[in-house]
Amino acid sequence: MTTSPPPPPSSASPSPGAPTHAKPLRRLTARGRGEAHRAASPLELFFDLCFVVAIAQAGMQLVHAVAESHAGEGILDYAMVFFAIWWAWMNFTWFASAYDNDDVLYRVVTLIQIAGVLVLAAGVSRAFEDHDFLAVVLGYVIMRLAMTAQWLRVARSSEGPERTMALRYAGGVALCQIGWLGLLFVPDGGKPWLFLVMALLEMCVPVYAEKDHPTSWHPHHIAERYGLFTIIVLGETIAAATIAVKVGIDENDALDELLPIAAGGLLIIFSAWWIYFVVPIHGRLRSSKEAFQWGYGHYVVFASAAAIGAGLEVAVEQAVGKAHLTTLTASAAVTLPTALYLLTVWALHSRHFKVGLAQQSVLPVTALLVICCTFLGDWAVLAAGLVSALAVATGTTLTARMVAREKAQHGATEAV
């Protein structure tokens, strides 16, 4: 299975599987994996922006839970709600990479999914505060049943192994929704366990559905979609932290206390962006097995990136006296998700492109140092930011030296 794109098609002959916009309703058939010039569509970008609304709500409730000394309960609720958001987003993203024909019905069903995530977002606060998951579950079921309808369209438009794969997807997704409805009836103590079971079942559906016939997702398109969503999540993190700092300055005139947090937070987020995009990852997505591992691992990437913003808000509230927490707890709210982000990006991206112990150890060692920064009191966030920035500088320097050494060796070989 090759990922090398063919030569660009002529204007008179569109690439196989690409939307032609000739009819309002078309067969929902697979697009070509080698399709040239494949990029995110305006509908996909709109989809991402609407999903970030739900992420912002989850982050806000995580801030309240930690600030009120309910960190354990808040983190658990955050993990559950974030899974619903991420899993629905991921399923749409991979489906669209293989089957986006951009006709009227496809757009309408996608807009229904967007409506579902907005319903979910509206129920996030009640899920955190009252353990009332009605709106969250309702929104999730709306999104997933809309995806079931898309897979039924694929089944109607295909035959053989592809039809079987589409029916497995449709049946698996639909059956899982029955289990999710159980969250509305089980006692609070049983909700996390039911969530764990249903999350595992949901993640098994793609593995089972594609065991005989993988979908024709596009490596460049998938890498771009994940990268764009990472940017949007990091942007939401910056926005949340900026608003928190502004409110702290306006209401408490605490510029001296907040400046180290603001500077450190900015360095952390800039470094997070740099580290994620330092290498092109699409070349690693050569098979469905690799793609599943990479795609599933991004749950931690997205959740930790969003949690960094929540942690910065907690640190600001603690600095101005609004949150009755110890400095250690407030610092950990920033350093722990930062370290988790660094380790996950290393596991999914960086380790595949680093040569030698020095390059391979930069991010793991940085994550350990960031955790150690937790104990530096009021300077913890700034120290974590400086350590993250140093990791970027170190990695860039080591890579530049390696490239220079390879060029020198190549030049010497040619001279001989």
Flag whether pLDDT at 404 surpasses 70.
no
pLDDT at 9: 40
CA angle (383 as vertex; 241, 349 as ends), nearest 5: 75
31 within a domain of the structure (yes/no): no
Flag whether pLDDT at 386 surpasses 50.
yes
16 within a domain of the structure (yes/no): no
Mean pLDDT score, 170-182: 93
The answer to whether residues 134 and 183 belong to one domain is yes
Number of independent structural domains in the chain = 2
- Are the C-beta atoms of 308 and 272 separated by less than 8 Å? yes
13 within a domain of the structure (yes/no): no
* Six token digits for residue 324: 């009755």
pLDDT digits (tens, 9 = 90+) for 18-39: 554 446 677 888 888 878 888 8
Please choose, from the candidates 93, 148, 81, the residue with its C-alpha nearest in 3D space to the C-alpha of residue 117: 81
The answer to whether residues 116 and 186 belong to one domain is yes
The answer to whether residues 176 and 52 belong to one domain is yes
pLDDT digits (tens, 9 = 90+) for 147-175: 999 999 999 998 999 999 999 999 999 99
In the listed set 180, 209, 238, which residue is the last one of a domain according to the structure? 209
Flag whether pLDDT at 48 surpasses 60.
yes
29 within a domain of the structure (yes/no): no
pLDDT at 111: 95
Give the global pTM.
Answer: 0.86
Q: Which of 9-23, 26-40, 260-274 is the least confident region?
A: 9-23
Flag whether pLDDT at 415 surpasses 90.
no
Mean pLDDT score, 80-94: 93
The answer to whether residues 223 and 205 belong to one domain is no
Flag whether pLDDT at 342 surpasses 70.
yes
Please choose, from the candidates 191, 187, 186, 98, the residue with its C-alpha nearest in 3D space to the C-alpha of residue 147: 98
358 within a domain of the structure (yes/no): yes
Tell me the percentage of the chain whose pLDDT exceeds 70.
88
233 within a domain of the structure (yes/no): yes
35 within a domain of the structure (yes/no): no
The answer to whether residues 193 and 153 belong to one domain is yes
Provide the H-helix boundaries in 32-159. Answer: 42-67, 71-99, 104-122, 124-130, 134-157
Please tell me which residue, 3 or 205, carries the higher pLDDT value: 205
pLDDT at 71: 86
Domain membership of residue 379 as a residue range: 219-279+286-415
The answer to whether residues 272 and 127 belong to one domain is no
- Are the C-beta atoms of 350 and 363 separated by less than 8 Å? yes
pLDDT at 410: 53
Query: What's the distance, Cα to Cα, between the start and end of the chain in Å?
Result: 38
26 within a domain of the structure (yes/no): no
356-372 helix and 380-415 helix, angle to the nearest 10 degrees: 170
The answer to whether residues 146 and 254 belong to one domain is no
pLDDT at 8: 39
- Are the C-beta atoms of 220 and 5 separated by less than 8 Å? yes
Containing H/E element for 329? Answer: helix 327-348
In the listed set 168, 188, 209, which residue is the last one of a domain according to the structure? 209
The answer to whether residues 186 and 271 belong to one domain is no
Instruction: Specify the residue for token string 């949690």.
Output: 307
pLDDT at 249: 82
Per-residue pLDDT band for 198 (boundaries 50, 70, 90) equals very high
The answer to whether residues 391 and 314 belong to one domain is yes
DSSP state of 32: P
Please choose, from the candidates 4, 33, 31, 3, the residue with its C-alpha nearest in 3D space to the C-alpha of residue 18: 31
Question: The CATH number of the domain where 411 resides is what?
Answer: 1.20.1410
pLDDT at 352: 66
Please choose, from the candidates 257, 252, 237, the residue with its C-alpha nearest in 3D space to the C-alpha of residue 52: 237
Q: Is residue 383 packed enough to be buried (19+ CB in 10 Å), middle (13-18) or exposed (0-12)?
A: buried
The answer to whether residues 195 and 237 belong to one domain is no
The answer to whether residues 186 and 67 belong to one domain is yes
pLDDT at 34: 79
Chain centre distance of CA 255:
33
pLDDT digits (tens, 9 = 90+) for 95-106: 999 998 888 999
- Are the C-beta atoms of 123 and 132 separated by less than 8 Å? yes
C-alpha to C-alpha distance for 320 and 253, rounded to whole angstroms: 9
The answer to whether residues 316 and 393 belong to one domain is yes
